[in-house]
Structure 1
Amino acid sequence: MDLMVEASPRRIFANAHTYHINSISLNSDQQTFMSADDLRINLWHLEITDQSFNIVDIKPANMEELTEVITAAEFHPKNCSSFVYSSSKGSIRLCDMRQRALCDQHAKMFEEPEDPSSRNFFSEIISSVSDVKFSNDGRYLVTRDYLNVKVWDLQMESKPVETYQVHEYLRSKLCSLYENDCIFDKFECAWSGNDRYVMTGSYNNFLRIFDRENNKDVTLEASRENIKPRTVLKSKKVCIGGRKKKDEISVDSLDFQRKILHTAWHPHQNVLAIAATNNLYLFQSKDT
């Protein structure tokens, strides 16, 4: 008989969320963790499964007055009392549990001012932050909205210190992306172990990696058809208009059903894990 592997839960932390859980983050104290849904963030002790503490609650008394939802949350990698959460309105809030039990008031809010001249029907949708991650040294935050990856310094709330365009060529296609619901896709982002690189996904199973030191980037494609073990991946380029070069892909031929939403980077090695639809890819740097 074929070997069958079945996972069985050791603990179940139940009945604490009304809405879908979008984030789980283990605290650096190795004793507690938090879980976040659209409107609440709960703090748990790893040894207590039937009780949690509500540390963020943005649910209004009248749900018709709801203006934003929580999209992601994470604990600081070194300071066990600090955590951050992002919202659908494009803001990121840093909270300190030492100040109060219910963190209804943030310690810092990171938000980039909107340019009124460029505002349109899609502005609020594409500014929604789908993921937020602390750098491994705890100094920076990386956030992902629909079109960009942004790096924030915890000491500067007014604007990001770095902005990287993931797929700016899709700005002209927001209407069709809205019609096929792709504009609501939630892409994750990840730091390399040394915090030099930032990674996120895109459509056509494209993976984007940004080098913060050299201000360079690369686009790679995860595909079952052209990937064999030890194969060196070739960089991809998207052609917006006009004549297309041999190694370029036209923006009109991108497959929006093939997308990389989930990404992870090994904390000590240059090994990447990429989830594309129902496939999991592992990539390793050539010099590892």
Structure 2
Amino acid sequence: MAGNGDIQWCFSQVKGTLEDDVTEADIISCVEFNHDGDLLATGDKGGRVVIFQRDPISKNSIPRRGEYNVYSTFQSHEPEFDYLKSLEIEEKINKIRWLKRKNPAHFLLSTNDKTIKLWKVSERDKRVEGYNTKEENGAIRDPACITALRVPTIKPMELMVEASPRRIFANAHTYHINSISVNSDQETYLSADDLRINLWHLEITDQSFNIVDIKPTNMEELTEVITAAEFHPAECNVLVYSSSKGTIRLCDMRSAALCDQHSKLFEEPEDPTNRSFFSEIISSISDVKLSNSGRYMISRDYLSVKVWDLQMETKPIECYPVHEYLRSKLCSLYENDCIFDKFECCWSGNDSSIMTGSYNNFFRVFDRTTKRDLTLEAARDIAKPKTLLKPRKVCTGGKRKKDEISVDCLDFNKKILHTAWHPSENVVAVAATNNLFLFQDKL
């Protein structure tokens, strides 16, 4: 995987309906590759999970192509009603996390605001025929009519992909679940809401352990909420969680069963020259991701992405402005609620690059080696395979060059909140409203 300064990105595919007939339920709410990158799952606001499978020909062709076909679609969550609190619980999928593959089936966790489900996705291409006690249509035969014994035979059939719920983990969160993360032991996972983080065993649905609780005894003293949480990729006792106050806490489960006392606190002192009414809102961290090596982590706040070294708590080692040109627009972004948008971020497979989204269907790719950055656009007008993506530029005032777009012309309804990077190749998935775009490096 080359460094990104040398990468030219090109269009690979787009999935989803045209914008004219978009319904709220079609809006993609999460994107996640599995561990080998052969499957890609999306969840949407209608509670559906769509799994795409890498086209085997595209994987082995030279040059290889990042093309995916629909593999399985299933309804993961339904709208519910909490009668105690008189609240509707949306079916929207907040997060999907894959488990590492242990057998021919695939397993994934999906969650809405309250309930986490473990799904098994398996293939069937054979069926059994010639049962003694039942007919081919499944009706039970009258034992009196059975005069001879048959040996059932296995016949090939058309491939069927079945998704079945194996476990339902419910009733453990008072507030909305914002994160789930599978531990490196592949036996436990965490789920986090605004004030608490719970630890689950994948085999046990009726109990979880509360490992972080930041709820104050008096709710009027509430000053921060948990915004994201994740396990370390290799050390099963270490987890991190971010807060709306712009801090990240690292907890070690070996030191205490309740991780209210963190082991490390990552926080950047605020620059007094940038202090404003919006400082607290824009310093809230919307996403935190540990690097694949486990040495670094990235945090996304409203205007930037920061890279932290787990050995250094005082300040980030790198800071990349995502859309600094919006600093002068914070007032109108506050009025239209965009300032509360939760952008996610992700690492490339070798940790050399970072990707995150922006407005106007722009997404940003930062190369940590060359320090070069790219602004690219997910748009249907380039929807021909191998079309090169032209880097986009936003200008903030004065004269606009031919290829630039003025900051006043950005469309804030088009936003890229969810992105994912293939674990070992330069193939990226970008969710733009109800469309899933796939881009790859031009080899």
TM-score of the superposed pair, with normalisation by structure 1: 0.97
Query: 2:191 maps to what in 1?
Result: 35
The CA distance in 2 between the partners of 1:229 and 1:14, in whole Å, is: 43
Specify the structure having the higher radius of gyration (Cα): 2
Indicate which of 212, 230, 235 corresponds to 1:74. Answer: 230
The CA distance in 2 between the partners of 1:115 and 1:244, in whole Å, is: 30
The CA distance in 2 between the partners of 1:253 and 1:133, in whole Å, is: 31
The CA distance in 2 between the partners of 1:225 and 1:8, in whole Å, is: 38
Indicate which of 274, 291, 298 corresponds to 1:135. Answer: 291
How much identity, in percent, do the aligned residues show?
77
Q: How does 1:111-122 map to 2 (within 5 A)?
A: 111-122=267-278
Map Cα deviations across residues 7-38 of structure 1 (whole Å, 9 max, x no partner). Answer: 54221110111111110100000100000000
Query: 1:239 maps to what in 2?
Result: 395
3-state SS in 2 of match to 1:170: helix
Q: What is the CA-CA distance between 1:114 and the residue it aligns to?
A: 1.1
Query: Is 1:10 aligned to 2:166, yes or no?
Result: yes
Give the AA of the match of 1:227. Answer: A
The CA distance in 2 between the partners of 1:4 and 1:201, in whole Å, is: 27
Give the AA of the match of 2:302. Answer: Y
Query: Is 1:84 aligned to 2:240, yes or no?
Result: yes
Q: How does 1:1-288 map to 2 (within 5 A)?
A: 5-6=73-74, 7-287=163-443
Give the AA of the match of 1:45. Answer: H
Map Cα deviations across residues 36-66 of structure 1 (whole Å, 9 max, x no partner). Answer: 0000000000111111000000001111000
Map Cα deviations across residues 142-185 of structure 1 (whole Å, 9 max, x no partner). Answer: 00000000000111100000000000000000000000000000
The CA distance in 2 between the partners of 1:103 and 1:213, in whole Å, is: 35
Map Cα deviations across residues 207-244 of structure 1 (whole Å, 9 max, x no partner). Answer: 10000001100000001233222211110000111111
Q: What is the CA-CA distance between 1:4 and the residue it aligns to?
A: 9.0
Structure 2 unaligned blocks of 5 or more: 1-70, 75-162
Change (3 A) 1:5 1:160: closer
Change (3 A) 1:181 1:232: same
Map Cα deviations across residues 90-125 of structure 1 (whole Å, 9 max, x no partner). Answer: 000000000000000000000001123431100000
The CA distance in 2 between the partners of 1:249 and 1:266, in whole Å, is: 30
3-state SS in 1 of match to 2:326: helix
Does 220-229 or 197-206 show the bigger shift?
A: 220-229
3-state SS in 2 of match to 1:48: coil
3-state SS in 2 of match to 1:163: strand
The CA distance in 2 between the partners of 1:275 and 1:27, in whole Å, is: 26
Q: What is the CA-CA distance between 1:5 and the residue it aligns to?
A: 4.4
User: Relative contact order (alpha carbons < 8 A, sep ≥ 6): 1 or 2 greater?
Assistant: 2
The CA distance in 2 between the partners of 1:152 and 1:28, in whole Å, is: 21
The CA distance in 1 between the partners of 2:358 and 2:275, in whole Å, is: 23
3-state SS in 2 of match to 1:172: helix
Give the AA of the match of 1:254. Answer: L
Give the AA of the match of 1:44. Answer: W
The CA distance in 2 between the partners of 1:246 and 1:11, in whole Å, is: 55
3-state SS in 2 of match to 1:198: strand
Give the AA of the match of 1:155. Answer: Q
Give the AA of the match of 1:103. Answer: C
The CA distance in 1 between the partners of 2:424 and 2:278, in whole Å, is: 39
Change (3 A) 1:5 1:208: closer
TM-score of the superposed pair, with normalisation by structure 2: 0.63
